[in-house]
């Protein structure tokens, strides 16, 4: 079964509703974003969550002090790196690690080899001139057929009920990352849209 991660969460009541739909992981963005939350906020949002829900912290080139604070907090099961982080920095993480690679052409997949030995999952997202990920847009999923890696990967980028069935057919990822296409407003998920998407995933994943 394809795992489901819902990212960019900012509200406790909304998170509790999201979790009831049977998702596997929740993501919290700690980089510049309309959905940015502080570590203190993450602590509040994750307090009392049920077991077996993975907590993912999303960072972009964190400074040394911020990175140390994140590690010391012990709030996460995974760290998701969206910047140009060094291999040394990723290796320091005591959590499981996800490396996001933003894609606009096949050439962007050349980064896979660099990070393969230090991460647990890749996450493939769309890229525009202004943003790496969080664009609400899809990329050409056919590019992922060229991946030469044994590491499992997460598909992200503009996924919702309108295209998730096609995405699963073309790509067959280990997990999907849902965010902007299932929102009422930045950080607040539309439970009806999310339920519709989750139902499609459960009917169409291996």
The CATH number of domain 3-204, selected from 3.40.309.10, 3.40.190.10, 3.30.70.1060, 3.20.20.70:
3.20.20.70
Digits of tens for pLDDT over the chain (206 positions)? 899 999 999 999 999 999 999 999 999 999 999 999 999 999 999 999 998 999 999 999 999 999 999 999 999 999 999 999 999 999 999 999 999 999 988 999 999 999 999 999 999 998 754 444 455 678 999 999 888 888 999 999 999 999 999 999 999 899 999 999 999 999 999 999 999 999 999 999 86
Per-residue pLDDT, 135: 55
For the chain, the domains span 3-204
Per-residue pLDDT, 96: 97
Per-residue pLDDT, 134: 54
Per-residue pLDDT, 3: 97
Per-residue pLDDT, 64: 95
Q: What is the pTM assigned to this prediction?
A: 0.94
Per-residue pLDDT, 137: 77
Compute the distance between CA of residue 38 and CA of residue 56 in angstroms, rounded to an integer.
13
């Amino acid at each position: 079964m394809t795992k489901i991660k819902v990212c960019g969460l900012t509200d406790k009541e909304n998170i509790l509703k999201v979790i009831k739909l049977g998702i596997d992981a929740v993501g919290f963005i700690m980089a510049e974003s309309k959905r940015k939350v502080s570590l203190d906020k993450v602590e509040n949002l994750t307090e009392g969550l049920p077991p077996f829900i993975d907590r993912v912290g999303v960072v972009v080139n964190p400074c040394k002090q911020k990175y140390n604070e994140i590690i010391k907090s012990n709030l996460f099961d995974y760290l998701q790196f969206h910047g140009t982080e060094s291999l040394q920095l990723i290796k320091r993480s005591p959590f499981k690690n996800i490396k996001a690679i933003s894609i606009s052409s096949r050439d962007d997949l050349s980064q896979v080899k660099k990070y393969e030995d230090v991460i647990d999952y890749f996450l493939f997202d769309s890229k525009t001139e202004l943003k790496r990920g969080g664009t609400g847009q899809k990329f050409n999923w056919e590019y992922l057929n060229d991946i030469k890696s044994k590491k499992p990967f997460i598909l992200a980028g503009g996924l919702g009920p309108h295209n998730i069935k096609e995405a699963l057919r073309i790509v067959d990822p280990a997990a999907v990352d849902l965010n902007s296409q299932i929102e009422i407003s930045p950080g607040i998920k539309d439970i009806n849209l999310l339920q519709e998407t989750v139902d499609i995933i459960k009917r169409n994943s291996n």
